[in-house]
Amino acid sequence: MSSIKDEINRRRTFAIISHPDAGKTTLTEKFLLYGGAINLAGSVKGKATARHAVSDWMEIEKQRGISVTSSVLQFEYDGFCINILDTPGHQDFSEDTYRTLMAADSAVMVIDGSKGVEAQTRKLFKVCVMRHIPIFTFINKMDRDAMDTFELLDDIEKELGIATCPLNWPIGSGKNFKGVYDREKKCVISYSDTEKGTKEGKTEEISVDDGEKLKSLVGEEAAENLLSEIELLDGASAEFDLDEVRAGNLTPVCFGSALTNFGVEIFLKHFLNMTTTPLPRMSDSGLIDPVNNDFSAFVFKIQANMNKAHRDRVAFMRIVSGKFDATKEVRHVQGGKTLRLSQPQQIMADERKILSEAYGGDIIGVFDPGIFSIGDTVCAPADKFAFEGIPTFAPEHFARVRQLDTMKRKQFVKGIEQIAQEGAIQIFQEYNTGLEEIIVGVVGVLQFDVLKYRLENEYNVDIKLENLPYEHIRWIENKEQFDIPKLTGTSDMKKVKDMKGNPLLLFVNSWSIGMTVERNKGLILTEFSKN
């Protein structure tokens, strides 16, 4: 019978981040394949009849071949219980990714070998650095023509400001990809193009000192290149230092091809040896240790309508400490109530399994009757601490939303409010004009397409979106000191309120913000809501 401590210590919880199309969802699927969680990996793109990736469950994701929401996937491998948070790669859904990173203990960064570090990788990486999250790098698509390996590593170091330590080294790329050299074992592992959806593949290990065998496997030129690159590498690359990895200052690097499965299990084994057990989290009562505290968790994501048949809302929680027992009551700190978490479940994309227990490090989904918000804390009834909040990003694009059928006002308001509670969009109304028109703010414009699609498909409401010219939004921190309707603004300013009734100001030009502050003595404007 394993103890709570043993169960927590075998957990590993990480997020996968990358630029779109670097192969992140494919890599996730292959991890699941090795853990026996699925028997056949689905291709993310391809014909309409092809299987879709397990982690892309929303209809719009299957149509476009991109990940729109973060999925949570759990599987067992080699004695570890692994929780993967698969995140959207597209920058228009970056806010969902930021929140997901709050629930992870480490991150796997997937880089396309032919492209190096791309814009979105840079942005997400900054969030990891801000939180000191350890990063493990998988350079993917080596079965296609790739950049020079030294250039790739240099690109990571320069662009992201983190030292690299290659655990293995590729021999060629594209049609000339012969395999990888394992630096620890000092041997070459030959490349084999396995059947795309399976984990079987024949690889051969050859000692780098066996010159004749090496030449016959990779060719004379590639063998000579490899030996000179190894010499260069041993002299130039950073020494492996686990403490530096865990501090987020050094990233171990592996090369492979997720599509053909080569190098995936090697990477997974290295990763599990280096990554940490679930980490403590800061609360307003100090650090909460996973093993030495009773049950506690925080909400990092809310998703409505994962199950079309039930039209429900699921709040995703990262368990920080202790053991979750479905039969016991918990305290919802922000709501000030004790309650029993309803229908606790483990999610495998859109498939669910009802849970009776879970442990620190796990991600669980619970039925949300509309009481939870992103960042909320739940803990044992005797405790009263709250975890640090999750930041809300100021939207950068705004549109007026109108429903085309006025008879469907009720469904329209319900749908838009529920989608807003998930944190993907923010909704505002005209301030004290009596107009019921709704203005939607988003971080990326693709969110407008998702909103339109979901309202039509999940709530049966057709809408028209009218883009607005505003690009800047500010909350009024000291609203009690001002008569909002009498605020003196600029011609490009608009007064709105959020769903909690807080007044906000929208501006077309950034210079108008400063002018408005000057014209209203003592006015304090902020980019974040503190409510």
Q: Give strand ranges (E) for 281-362.
A: 281-283, 286-288, 296-304, 313-321, 323-325, 330-332, 337-339, 345-348, 351-354, 357-359
pLDDT at position 336: 92
Question: Does residue 419 fall inside a structural domain?
Answer: yes
Looking at the structure, tell me whether residues 264 and 300 fall in a common domain: no
Between 148 and 91, residue with greater pLDDT? 148
Average pLDDT over residues 99-127: 85
Q: For tokens 């859109």, name the residue.
A: 350
Q: CA torsion, points 331, 333, 334, 337, in degrees to nearest 10?
A: 30
Give the confidence band of 41 by pLDDT, cuts at 50, 70, 90: very low
pLDDT computed for residue 194 by the predictor = 58
pLDDT surpasses 90 at 324:
yes
> DSSP letter at 257?
B
Sequence-ordered alpha helix ranges (H) in 35-176:
59-64, 94-101, 119-130, 149-160
pLDDT class of 348 with cuts at 50, 70, 90:
low
- Whether 342 is in a domain gets the answer yes
**Whole-number Å distance between alpha carbons of 194 and 382:** 54
Q: Which residue spans within 380-481 are E strands per DSSP?
A: 397-403, 426-430, 438-442, 463-468, 472-476
Q: Which of 379, 407, 429 is the last residue of a domain?
A: 379
- Total domains, the chain: 3
Q: What is the pLDDT of residues 59-110, one digit of tens each?
A: 544 454 443 344 678 888 999 999 988 765 445 445 667 778 889 999 999 9
pTM for the model:
0.76
Residues 267 and 324 in one domain: no
Asked whether residue 122 falls in the same domain as residue 44, the answer is yes
- Average pLDDT value for the chain: 83
Do 225 and 307 belong to one domain?
no
Confidence (pLDDT) at 43: 37
Residue 418: what pLDDT? Answer: 79
In a domain? residue 385: no
List the structure tokens of 271.
């990763």
The residue range of the domain holding 315 is 281-379
Kindly report the length of the chain: 531
Q: How far from each other are the two terminal CA atoms of the chain, in whole angstroms?
A: 45
Residue 453 has a CB neighbour count (10 Å cut-off) of: 16
| Predicted confidence (pLDDT) per residue in 386-420, tens digit | 998 776 667 888 999 988 888 888 889 888 887 88
Among the candidates 318, 349, 379, a domain finishes at 379
For residue 285, pLDDT over 80 is answered with: yes
Residue 444 amino acid letter: G
pLDDT digits (tens, 9 = 90+) for 198-252: 555 567 788 888 888 888 888 888 889 999 999 888 877 778 999 999 999 999 9
Q: What CATH number does the domain containing 359 carry?
A: 2.40.30.10
Report which of residues 436 and 80 the model is more confident about. Answer: 80
Least confident of 50-64, 123-137, 243-257: 50-64
Say yes or no: 125 and 160 in one domain: yes
* pLDDT value of residue 199: 57
> Could you tell me what percent of the chain has a pLDDT over 90?
41
Domain membership flag for residue 329: yes
Q: Which CATH number goes with the domain that contains 162?
A: 3.40.50.300
257 and 291 housed in the same domain: no
Q: 225, 255, 274 — which closes off a domain?
A: 274
Q: Is residue 403 part of a domain?
A: yes
Domain assignment of residue 222, yes or no: yes
| Percent of the chain clearing pLDDT 70 (strictly above) | 84
With respect to residue 78, please indicate whether it lies within any of the assigned structural domains: no
Whether residues 129 and 225 fall in one domain: yes
The region of weakest confidence among 276-280, 309-313, 342-346, 373-377 is 309-313
Q: How confident is the model at residue 326 (pLDDT cuts 50, 70, 90)?
A: very high
Tell me the pLDDT band of 142, cut-offs 50, 70 and 90. Answer: very high
523: nearest Cα among 460, 475, 491, 485: 475
Question: CB of 528 within 8 A of CB of 487?
Answer: no
The predicted model gives 27-36 an average pLDDT of 82
Q: How many CB atoms lie within 10 A of CB 303?
A: 26
- 421 & 371 share domain: no
Please state, in angstroms and as integers, the Cα–Cα distance from residue 62 to each residue in 42, 44, 308, 377, 453, following that order: 11, 8, 16, 33, 13
Decide: 70 and 97 in contact? Cβ < 8 Å: yes
DSSP H helices in 325-391: none
Report the alpha-carbon distance of residue 61 to residue 40 in Å, rounded. Answer: 19
How does pLDDT run across 258-270, given as a tens digit for each residue?
988 899 999 999 9
In a domain, 99, yes or no: no
CATH number of the domain at 462, please. 3.30.70.3280
Q: Which two tokens stand for residue 362?
A: 């796990």
Whether residue 311 sits in one domain with residue 164: no
Whether residues 229 and 295 fall in one domain: no
Report whether 177 contacts 264 (CB < 8 A).
no
- 171-182 average pLDDT score: 92
| Non-local CB neighbours of 290 within 8 Å, separated by 6+ positions | 8, 277, 278, 279, 280, 320, 321, 322, 360, 361
DSSP class per residue in 24-49: HHHHHHHHHHHTTS-SSPPPSSS-TT
Asked if residue 56 and residue 193 are part of one domain, the reply reads yes
Q: Are residues 182 and 239 in the same domain?
A: yes
